[in-house]
Amino acid sequence: MLKPKRKITKKEIKRDPFLETIDKLENNFEKNKKTFLNIVLVLIAGIFIINFFLKKQDQKNIDSNSALGVAMVAFENKDYENAKFQFENIILDFNGTYASSFANFYLGRIHFENNEFAKSESFLNTFMNSSDSEILYFGAVKMLTHIALQNSHYDKAIKLLDNGTKKVSKNDSIELKLIKTLVLKDQGKTDTAKRLLDKIISGKKLPQHLKNKSEELIGMM
């Protein structure tokens, strides 16, 4: 005959490890309920704030790109005064954006074309410190090299060209090396320039137009 199940006393329940753990957790929650709720509220608020700023940043990028489009149309139409005004406003209104970086490049270019080299150098340096655009970087290096040579800063020009070759496409890198040979020639380092040209010509898959340029430069040495 089966014995009737013995009822668990309250005292025994209290001694049950699992139930004691549950009881402790419940008591802990009750004691710290306000703190827990505050943490949850802070997390929820944080999510809303992050979402708000992301949306705001997206809108900022949309607005800045739109402004850049207007400035570029003026630039392409050779309306340089209007383009200059538009680019300057982009830098003021949308600092830190992709459009702001491009605005610095084109302001540098406008001042370069006007032989305002100090202003050009300032904008181009700002661009180079804020952008990784290969095509525009190549143009910026060439303009800054020209400015450095205008001031007879040959070592600075060499440094610009050397750094530039690491950040542009392969063909553009060769173009910068060809410019470097001319700088070396002006420094009286003809032998070094010739060695660099020989190295360029012996390179694999050298495009014909770059090979022709290299051979032309060798004839000038």
DSSP string of 153-164?
-HHHHHHHHHHH
Domain topology for 132-221: 1.25.40
Q: Global pTM?
A: 0.72
According to the model, what pLDDT value does residue 54 have? 42
User: Which long-range contacts link 95-101 to residues 24+ away (Cβ below 8 Å)?
Assistant: 97/60, 97/61, 97/64, 98/61, 98/64, 98/65, 99/61, 99/64, 99/65, 99/67, 99/68, 100/64, 100/130, 101/127, 101/130, 101/131, 101/133
The pLDDT value given to residue 174: 94
What pLDDT score does 61 carry? 81
Tell me the domain boundaries of the chain.
37-103, 132-221
**Per-residue pLDDT, 27:** 60
- Give the residue from 179, 162, 172 showing the smallest Cα distance to 214: 179
pLDDT of residue 219: 84
Spell out, as residue ranges, where the chain has pLDDT lower than 50: 1-3, 5, 8, 10, 12-14, 36, 38, 40-56
pLDDT at 72: 92
Confidence at residue 62, expressed as pLDDT on a 0 to 100 scale: 86
